[in-house]
């Protein structure tokens, strides 16, 4: 069955022209999916229909002399699975093709239609303004460029439109085009700010929190071939580490939980279980580098080894060794062409790994503020921050310090309010965990089912409910995308 579907592209975060296209496609299903909170690609005028779509599902069916179309369905969730059974049941009942006389089905469809009568008039008005004889012949190349501007949520909704679009979204040329947009157009595809919360003891599933919508999403890891736990992330890629207790060696796997693609990297040059792992992604060249440093066995001579993997060459190279008598922390952040990490112990400081020279150097930052046992290093908004506990007027609180890149001195730039701090640390465990992305910092703790988000620009704190109970937590930044693992 051939029919015309009107699509409106409205890129609100950046100043680009609003385009409307209409086309015929024999593969298009009669049920059309988009996200109700995203006005980037709607089957109607986005601004007028957004409020109606927010109220839930929108299903309409009507015939007019100036246009024809079938059903539009607005799903309320971003990544959650779509209930095809429910959709088809209502659709079949409404179209009179149901094999059963279930009255409840008919009532459900009728209620659904009557609740969206006003939105139907908006659709009629929008479709009538289209000149289909022009937009039906829109070149495929132009359609692909329009689709490349979509946020990742709409991209994966539109894989359901037809097989050709599904293949397009997973093709390397499209991924390449999408990756080049920030550099060609000066725009950034804003997917929201995501944070991953993982239980080290139950890492078969990732829980992702999106700060803008204040919602949690789940990413099952059942597609991975081996038991591995996440250790690092960058952009839309996550590094997993799989250890073999018999051989004392480790295997690193890189995966994209959105596309469900994965790759097992070649074996490390020196057998060990690395202490620190970090990844940096270059979306312009669609490549990534992974750094592994240190080892869990202090007596092993390989524990000071540093290796780097480059996805463009597909192999590991040996880099400069870690300085002697320096015990590094597990977390490493990427900052201005360097990998930066904290050292542990009384005389702790910062170590920096130069990505060009592939050598380590000790940064002369002076004493790191906060208690060494309870502090973390993050990169936030282009700056290096240390977050830790410290005493102020006989009260133990949580503070944030920023490193001045010119003077290499620390300056206190934020603190957790006392009331929030008392509630956050009310549980027995004193440990806390945090990660940062953009200008937001996400906090959580051992055996805790809540979180906190700190906005460094607004100096504001927000409670996060619905957090999975983190018995052995790991927090990572996440920017879902089509980043390839090859």
Length of the chain: 486
pLDDT at 106: 42
pLDDT at 256: 93
CA distance 25 to 27: 5
* Contacts for 142 with CB less than 8 Å, ≥ 6 apart: none
What distances in angstroms separate CA 53 from CA 57, 121, 220, one per listed residue?
7, 14, 28
pLDDT at 430: 72
- Give residue limits of the domains in the chain: 4-145, 194-478
**140: buried, middle or exposed (CB in 10 Å: 19+, 13-18, 0-12)?**
exposed
pLDDT at 321: 92
Architecture field, domain 194-478:
6 Propeller (2.120)
pLDDT at 233: 94
DSSP per-residue string spanning 254-268: EEETTTTEEEEPPPP
Q: What residue ranges of the chain have pLDDT lower than 70?
A: 1-130, 182-192, 200-203, 245, 298-301, 346, 427-429, 471-472
| Ramachandran quadrant class, 248 (left: phi over 0; alpha: psi -120 to 50; beta: rest) | left
Question: Cα dihedral sign for 251, 256, 262, 263?
Answer: negative
* Contacts for 442 with CB less than 8 Å, ≥ 6 apart: 195, 209, 211, 434, 435, 436, 451, 452, 453, 464, 475
Write out pLDDT tens, residues 293-335: 988 775 566 778 999 999 999 999 999 999 888 888 888 899 9
What distances in angstroms separate CA 352 from CA 273, 286, 314, 342, one per listed residue?
21, 25, 24, 9
């Amino acid at each position: 069955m051939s029919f015309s579907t009107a699509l409106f592209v409205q890129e609100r975060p950046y100043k680009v022209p609003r385009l409307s296209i209409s086309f015929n496609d024999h593969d298009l299903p009669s049920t059309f999916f988009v996200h109700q909170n995203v006005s980037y690609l709607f089957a109607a005028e986005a601004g007028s229909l957004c409020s109606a779509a927010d109220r839930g599902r929108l299903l309409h069916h009507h015939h007019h002399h100036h246009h024809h179309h079938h059903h539009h369905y607005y799903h309320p969730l971003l990544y959650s699975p779509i209930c095809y059974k429910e959709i088809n049941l209502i659709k079949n009942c409404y179209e009179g093709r149901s094999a059963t006389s279930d009255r409840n089905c008919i009532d459900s469809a009728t209620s659904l239609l009557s609740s969206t009568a006003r939105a139907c008039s908006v659709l009629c008005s929008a479709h009538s303004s289209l000149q289909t004889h022009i937009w039906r012949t829109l070149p495929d190349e132009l359609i692909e460029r329009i689709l490349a501007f979509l946020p990742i949520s709409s991209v994966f909704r539109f894989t359901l439109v037809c097989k050709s679009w599904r293949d397009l979204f997973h093709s390397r040329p499209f991924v390449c085009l999408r990756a080049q947009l920030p550099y060609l157009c000066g725009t950034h595809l804003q997917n929201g700010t995501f944070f991953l919360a993982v239980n080290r003891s139950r890492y078969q599933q990732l829980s992702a929190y999106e700060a803008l919508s204040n919602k949690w999403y789940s990413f099952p890891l059942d597609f991975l071939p081996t038991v591995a736990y996440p250790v690092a992330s960058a952009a839309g890629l996550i590094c997993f580490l799989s250890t073999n207790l018999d051989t004392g060696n480790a295997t690193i796997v890189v995966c994209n939980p959105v596309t469900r693609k994965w790759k097992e990297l070649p074996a490390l040059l020196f057998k060990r279980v690395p202490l620190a792992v970090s990844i940096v992604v270059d979306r312009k060249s669609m490549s990534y580098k992974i750094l592994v440093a240190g080892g869990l066995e202090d007596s092993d001579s390989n524990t000071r080894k540093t290796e780097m993997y480059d996805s463009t060459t597909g192999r590991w190279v040996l880099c400069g060794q870690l300085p002697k008598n320096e015990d590094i922390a597990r977390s490493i952040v990427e900052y201005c062409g360097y990998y930066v990490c904290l050292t542990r112990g009384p005389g702790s400081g910062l170590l920096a790994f130069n990505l060009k020279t592939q050598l380590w150097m000790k940064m002369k930052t002076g004493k790191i503020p906060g208690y060494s046992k309870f502090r973390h290093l993050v990169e936030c908004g282009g700056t290096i921050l240390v977050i830790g506990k410290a005493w102020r007027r006989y009260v133990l609180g949580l503070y944030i310090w920023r490193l001045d890149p010119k003077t290499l001195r620390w300056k206190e730039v934020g603190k957790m309010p006392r009331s929030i701090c008392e509630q956050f640390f009310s549980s027995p465990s004193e440990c806390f965990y945090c990660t940062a992305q953009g200008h937001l910092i996400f906090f959580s703790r051992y055996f805790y089912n809540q979180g906190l988000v700190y906005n460094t620009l607004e100096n504001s704190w927000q409670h996060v409910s619905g957090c999975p109970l983190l018995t052995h937590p790991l927090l990572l930044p996440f920017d879902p995308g089509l980043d390839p693992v090859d």
